[in-house]
Amino acid sequence: MLRKSKIAIKDLNQHLIELDNVTNILQGNTWKASLKDTINLYLGAQSSISKRLDELYFTKRVPCVTQGATVLSTMNVYDNYMKENFKDLIKKAINHIEINGVYKNESKTNFLSSFNNAQIICAIITAIGIIYGIGNYLGRLEKDREIIESDSKRNETEKKYKDCLYENENLKKQIDKKN
């Protein structure tokens, strides 16, 4: 079983344990909100188990008669027996995860979807800076190489010019001797 499935089952089993500590409507609603987040995380917000959780409550409607009223009214009263519905739902969610695994968000289609916009922008700016720095460095190296190459060609040309002048002088001297 995959690591995320094991974590999901562990979280849901923890909710089962915590359910036994619920003793009133306020605790029940807080526990239910936590369970809803867990189910949405591991089964998806559109799952039928998540939608079914919305229909479960820790209360039941009880008719009550108020003093001096002619109309019969109802009141929501905490019912400890309603915990069984939640236990059954959690067991079904665990069974679903064991068989099918956890929910995978298909809208994230590439590796960049795991980063937020600020992280992506910082990465782009950093990459541009690095590329500019490397290009600037390599450009200077190429410029220095061209300068050294042209200096060596100039020195070679000057040497050939001096050699030609020296040879020209020698030839003049030889011609003058023959005359």
How confident is the model over 36-83, as pLDDT tens digits?
988 888 788 788 888 888 888 877 777 776 666 566 666 666 677 788
- pLDDT score at 138: 92
Say which residue the tokens 């060596």 belong to: 152
- pLDDT score at 160: 92
Instruction: Using DSSP, state whether 45 is helix, strand or coil.
Output: coil
Q: What is the pLDDT along the chain (179 residues), one digit of tens a residue?
A: 578 888 888 888 888 888 888 888 788 888 889 889 888 887 887 888 888 888 888 777 777 766 665 666 666 666 777 888 888 888 888 888 888 877 776 665 667 777 788 888 999 999 999 999 999 999 999 999 999 999 999 999 999 999 999 999 988 888 888 87
- pLDDT score at 70: 60
pTM for this structure?
A: 0.53
In angstroms, the first-to-last Cα distance of the chain is 109
Q: Is 131 exposed, middle or buried (0-12, 13-18, 19+ CB in 10 A)?
A: exposed
Instruction: Using DSSP, state whether 33 is helix, strand or coil.
Output: helix
Instruction: Using DSSP, state whether 20 is helix, strand or coil.
Output: coil
Rg (Cα) of the chain, in Å, rounded? 42
DSSP-derived secondary structure for 99-156:
HH-----TT--SGGGGS-HHHHHHHHHHHHHHHHHHHHHHHHHHHHHHHHHHHHHHHH
